[in-house]
Amino acid sequence: MERTFLAIKPDGVQRSLVGDIIRRFEVKGFTLVGLKLMNVSRELAEKHYEVHKERPFFSNLIEFITSGPVVAMVWEGDGVVASARKIIGATNPLNAEPGTIRGDFGVDVGRNLIHGSDAIETAQREINLWFEQEELVSWKPSLMSWIHE
Ligand code: IDP
Ligand code: MG
């Protein structure tokens, strides 16, 4: 079953948006299989954002993501990787459509509330980076037959 890694960034936690953000993935019909509130070490942050290490915003990004608690999550479902990216919206909240998380709650690319894996392979890498295998819970919601034909 397809899985993705999502993280509510420190701005989402500080602004009391954790419940609202989680709710969007719940009501969509995806299954939560991993969840933890954590402070992010510089080492983890740098590994997570490794592909951006040459970008001018890298040091600000690392400062920001390590500045306060983050809610790290793994969600499961058919097509969850691409669908979660749509629910999250464009990287710059000013370009994100209303109805998306970034479109509804943000105005600044450096405060865009949530991370979501950009591809199935990236998701696998990020889940392994952020979670131990035993922290993930495989379960079948009992209302599945009302969500899937
Ligand atoms: P994504 O989060 O939509 O996948 P990426 O291009 O992977 O966007 O960039 C990772 C994160 O780096 C973004 O979510 C954002 O917080 C930050 N970022 C990206 N581009 C810029 C920029 O031009 N200025 C400042 N921060 C940026
Ligand atoms: Mg990205």
pLDDT at position 107: 98
Q: Is 115 a catalytic residue?
A: yes
pLDDT digits (tens, 9 = 90+) for 18-72: 999 999 999 999 999 999 999 999 999 999 999 999 999 999 999 999 999 999 9
- CA gap 126, 57 in Å, rounded: 20
Top mutation candidate among 6, 9, 62, 91 for ligand 1, by most atoms within 8 Å of CB: 91
Looking at residue 45, its pLDDT comes to: 98
Q: Helix (H) and strand (E) counts for the chain? A: 7, 4
Helices (H), ranges, the chain: 10-14, 18-28, 42-48, 58-65, 80-88, 101-105, 120-130
Tell me the average pLDDT of the chain.
98
Distance CA 77, CA 90 (A): 21
Q: Nearest bound ligand to CA 53?
A: 1
